[in-house]
């Protein structure tokens, strides 16, 4: 197949799988695995080793390095306030224990030799942030277990790769390829170099960006070039130590107060989606039917041992004495999906084991794929009901974040709160929050766009943002900045003041969707002062939406609340459909018989 067409096909399979997973609310990695096997072993359209030749392994390695940098850039000290001790235990004790138990599962479950088992056990420390994060978002897990799982996944990514490096170099030494003392010194030197290189490269990047030595339009290209350079130099000294170096570099950059950090992170997230899709398709397509046919009942036993013995045992032993409640330990012990890093590193080391004469190495990638598929499916479909059964998640539909603390905004929040719809009123003025606090409405005092809010407010609980402050520009800023978190279709702002710029005068990239029919702050404030309020009205076959609008022509319909609690907000040219069992949320004049 022509190379250009092949690259387009890989992109279509990867991104198409991600989109289909989003539409069907399924784990994306499972669909990508199926697409890769379909495009590779089944149809033969994609044969990475033949199509890309010697470039195949470097392509995968560089992609994994970029993915790990994106994981490292999300590591922040402040986010560890609550989950810190548990995460440290899972890294310092859980990772070695997981290595031991996974090695035993590979040896006695899958039947691998000790050499391949030790290397594979190190790789399986990785739980996969690219898989864990979507699962947490889907389940809306409680903050502490969610933070433990997320941080464990991010921190253990390079730890697992490093464990595999240590095991591989040790195996090479035992195979007679070098002296133990020489290799040990080489390992120590490589680890120190990787850490130092990542640290100083990150510091240099922060300084150059902060001091204006790099123009805005070149920041992303410079970042990419530096990542590749750091990875290549470190990897040249010690194979796969480049993964550690780029993770350290990402950690340094992520904890710096860079004005451009948010934009860099978003761009990196987009690139990571593309890389994850492409790498997974390539690795799945590189599987051979005869290789997959070697997976027998022992492979199934191996997967069951990892899921029901190795992972729970490592977690429970590591968390002894941390004070974590039993039900939180239980959810952390169960949720341990493996992702693209485990598959990619398994493919790299499996091929190298075969090169040095260890035939079991060819089974590492198929076993990793099987484990990924099993854990993603099992954990993806059970995390929400299991967490709900344990009381670690909210059964309610995603709520609303109200940015503003005026009296009429508090009245809206009270209506939603009384209807058991999750709501949070965020305001920078402490005095304005007095009314909301006195009525028992959840509040956040401070700047919702600040780093402090990022660590203390779980935005996953809220499905929509309403920017309803008395400052038009601030409302536009909120919608623009938080649109990637909520989705652009779920950020709304009240219309601008009559003497300010109209919406059409602004670029379409600034601001959010106009709420309801487009009334400004004064409309709501004035009418609320005159007795108007917010009300939820039931819709039925006897009282349909059309009759509601006829009998209440003055009512300003803001949203339709479905029977399951989901809110569908109205816009100037859009009014959601309301059927029997739904409720209308409207701003209307007080009625004497109400």
DSSP string, 560-587: EE-TTS-EEE-BTTB-----TT-EEEEE
**Which segments within 479-562 are labelled E, that is strand?**
491-493, 513-514, 533-538, 556-561
Q: How far apart are CA 424 and CA 416, in angstroms?
A: 10
Write down which residue in 389, 407, 425 finishes a domain. Answer: 389
> Looking at the domain assignment, is residue 510 inside a domain?
yes
pLDDT at 455 over 70: no
Nearest to 217 by CA among 272, 256, 273, 267: 267
Q: What is the DSSP letter of 488?
A: G
Looking at residue 394, its pLDDT comes to 60
Residues 375 and 302 in one domain: yes
Q: What are phi and psi of 522, to 5 degrees?
A: -60, -35
Looking at residue 594, its pLDDT comes to 46
> Looking at the domain assignment, is residue 311 inside a domain?
yes
Residues 115 and 199 in one domain: yes
pLDDT at 505 over 80: no
The DSSP bridge pattern shows strands 583-588 and 556-561 to be antiparallel
CATH code of the domain containing 266: 1.20.1530.20
**8 Å CB contact between 195 and 239:** no
373-428 pLDDT tens trace: 888 888 888 888 898 888 887 655 678 999 998 999 999 999 999 888 889 999 98
Average pLDDT over residues 7-32: 83
The DSSP bridge pattern shows strands 513-514 and 491-493 to be parallel
Task: State percent of the chain over pLDDT 90.
Answer: 20
Nearest to 392 by CA among 306, 321, 325: 325
The number of beta carbons lying within 10 Å of the beta carbon of residue 10 is: 24
Residues 160 and 308 in one domain: yes
> Looking at the domain assignment, is residue 39 inside a domain?
no
Write down which residue in 333, 355, 389 finishes a domain. Answer: 389
The number of beta carbons lying within 10 Å of the beta carbon of residue 355 is: 9
Q: How far apart are CA 585 and CA 423, in angstroms?
A: 14
Average pLDDT over residues 154-171: 73
Average pLDDT over residues 213-237: 87
Sheet holding 567-569, edge to edge: 533-538, 583-588, 556-561, 567-569
Residues 278 and 339 in one domain: yes
Q: Strand, helix or coil at 235?
A: helix
Largest CA distance in the chain: 92
- Per-residue burial over 35-63, b = 16 or more CB atoms within 10 Å of its CB, e = otherwise: bbbbbbbeeebbbbeebbeeebbeebbbb
Average pLDDT over residues 84-94: 83
> Looking at the domain assignment, is residue 9 inside a domain?
no
pLDDT at 333 over 70: yes
Write down which residue in 367, 389, 411 finishes a domain. Answer: 389
Tokens of 584: 């209308």
Residues 407 and 274 in one domain: no
Q: How far apart are CA 161 and CA 338, in angstroms?
A: 13
Number of separate domains in the chain: 2
pLDDT at 474 over 80: yes
Q: How far apart are CA 1 and CA 330, in angstroms?
A: 49
Q: Strand, helix or coil at 536?
A: strand
Looking at residue 503, its pLDDT comes to 47
Average pLDDT over residues 464-492: 87
Q: How far apart are CA 373 and CA 356, in angstroms?
A: 29
Q: How far apart are CA 317 and CA 97, in angstroms?
A: 8
Task: Please state the three-class secondary structure of 386-401 as a single string.
Answer: HHHHCCCECCCCCEEE
Residues 450 and 305 in one domain: no
**Which segments within 180-256 are labelled E, that is strand?**
none
346-372 pLDDT tens trace: 877 887 788 888 888 888 888 988 898
Q: What is the DSSP letter of 188?
A: H
Looking at residue 187, its pLDDT comes to 66
> Looking at the domain assignment, is residue 106 inside a domain?
yes
Residues 233 and 105 in one domain: yes
Residues 381 and 523 in one domain: no
What's the chain's average pLDDT?
A: 82
Residues 419 and 382 in one domain: no
| N residues, the chain | 594
The number of beta carbons lying within 10 Å of the beta carbon of residue 383 is: 23
Tokens of 66: 């970029």
* Domain span including residue 437: 399-588
The residues, ordered by sequence, that sit 6+ positions from 378 with a Cβ below 8 Å of its Cβ are: 307
- Per-residue burial over 525-564, b = 16 or more CB atoms within 10 Å of its CB, e = otherwise: eebbeeebbbbebebeeeeebeebeeebeebbbbbbbbee
CATH code of the domain containing 465: 3.40.50.720
The DSSP bridge pattern shows strands 533-538 and 583-588 to be antiparallel
Tokens 């060819």 map to which residue? 362
User: What is the band of 277 on the pLDDT scale with cuts at 50, 70, 90?
Assistant: confident
Residues 283 and 335 in one domain: yes
pLDDT at 501 over 60: no
178-200 pLDDT tens trace: 555 666 666 677 778 888 999 99
Residues 406 and 296 in one domain: no
The number of beta carbons lying within 10 Å of the beta carbon of residue 463 is: 20
Q: How far apart are CA 43 and CA 63, in angstroms?
A: 25
> Looking at the domain assignment, is residue 71 inside a domain?
yes
Q: How far apart are CA 184 and CA 204, in angstroms?
A: 30
Tokens 């796969």 map to which residue? 240
Q: How far apart are CA 84 and CA 92, in angstroms?
A: 12
Q: What is the DSSP letter of 94?
A: I
Looking at residue 86, its pLDDT comes to 83
Task: State percent of the chain over pLDDT 70.
Answer: 86
> Looking at the domain assignment, is residue 480 inside a domain?
yes
Q: Is the dihedral of CA 232, 238, 241, 245 positive or negative?
A: negative
**8 Å CB contact between 395 and 459:** no
Cα 77 versus chain centre, distance? 18
> Looking at the domain assignment, is residue 41 inside a domain?
no
Residues 108 and 169 in one domain: yes
């Amino acid at each position: 197949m022509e190379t250009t067409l092949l690259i387009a096909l890989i992109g279509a399979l990867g991104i198409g799988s991600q989109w289909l997973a989003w539409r069907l609310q399924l784990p994306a990695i499972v669909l990508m695995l199926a697409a890769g096997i379909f495009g590779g072993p089944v149809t033969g359209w994609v044969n990475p080793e033949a199509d890309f030749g010697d470039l195949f392994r470097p392509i995968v390695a560089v992609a994994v390095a970029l993915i790990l940098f994106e994981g490292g850039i999300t590591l922040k000290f402040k986010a560890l306030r609550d989950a810190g001790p548990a995460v440290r235990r899972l890294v310092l004790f859980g990772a070695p224990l997981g290595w031991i138990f996974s090695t035993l599962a590979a040896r006695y479950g899958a039947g691998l030799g000790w050499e391949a088992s030790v290397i594979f056990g190190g790789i399986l420390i990785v739980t996969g942030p690219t898989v864990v994060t979507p699962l947490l978002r889907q389940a809306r897990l409680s903050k502490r277990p969610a933070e433990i799982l997320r941080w464990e996944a991010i921190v253990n990514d390079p730890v697992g790769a490093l464990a595999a490096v240590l095991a591989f170099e040790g195996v090479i030494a035992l195979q007679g390829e070098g002296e133990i003392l020489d290799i040990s010194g080489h390992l120590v030197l490589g680890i120190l170099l990787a850490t130092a290189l990542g640290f100083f490269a990150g510091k240099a990047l922060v300084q150059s960006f902060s001091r204006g030595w790099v123009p805005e339009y070149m920041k992303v290209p410079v970042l990419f070039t530096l990542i590749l350079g750091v990875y290549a130099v470190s990897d040249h000294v010690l194979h796969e130590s480049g993964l550690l170096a780029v993770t350290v570099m990402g950690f340094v950059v992520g904890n710096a107060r860079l004005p451009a950090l948010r934009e860099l992170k978003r761009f990196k997230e987009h690139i990571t989606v593309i890389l994850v899709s492409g790498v997974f398709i390539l690795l799945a397509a590189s599987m051979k039917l005869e290789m997959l046919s070697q997976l027998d009942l022992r492979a199934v036993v191996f997967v069951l041992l990892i899921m029901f013995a190795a992972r729970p045992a490592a977690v429970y032993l590591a968390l002894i004495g941390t004070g974590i409640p039993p039900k939180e330990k239980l959810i952390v012990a169960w949720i341990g999906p493996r992702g693209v890093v485990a598959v990619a590193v398994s493919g790299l080391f499996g091929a190298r084991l075969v090169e040095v004469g260890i035939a079991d190495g060819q089974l590492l990638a198929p076993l990793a794929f099987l484990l990924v598929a099993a854990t993603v499916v099992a954990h993806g479909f059970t995390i929400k009901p299991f967490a709900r059964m344990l009381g670690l998640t909210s059964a309610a539909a995603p709520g609303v974040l109200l940015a503003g603390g005026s009296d009429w905004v508090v009245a809206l929040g009270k209506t939603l709160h009384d209807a058991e719809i999750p709501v949070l009123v965020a305001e920078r003025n402490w005095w304005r929050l007095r009314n909301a606090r006195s009525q028992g409405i959840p509040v956040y005092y401070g700047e919702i766009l600040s780093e402090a809010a990022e660590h203390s407010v779980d935005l996953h609980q809220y499905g929509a943002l309403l920017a309803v402050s008395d400052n038009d520009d601030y409302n536009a800023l909120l919608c623009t900045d938080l649109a990637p978190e909520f989705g652009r279709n779920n950020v709304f702002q009240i219309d601008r003041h009559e003497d300010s710029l109209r919406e059409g005068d602004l670029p379409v990239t600034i601001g959010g969707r106009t709420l309801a029919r487009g009334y400004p702050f004064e409309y709501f404030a004035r009418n609320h002062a005159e007795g108007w309020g917010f009300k939820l009205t039931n819709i039925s076959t006897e009282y349909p939406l059309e009759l509601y609008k006829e009998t209440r022509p003055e009512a300003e319909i803001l949203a339709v609340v479905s029977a399951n609690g989901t809110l569908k907000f109205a816009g100037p040219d859009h009014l959601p459909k309301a059927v029997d069992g739904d409720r209308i949320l409207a701003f209307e004049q007080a009625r004497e018989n109400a």
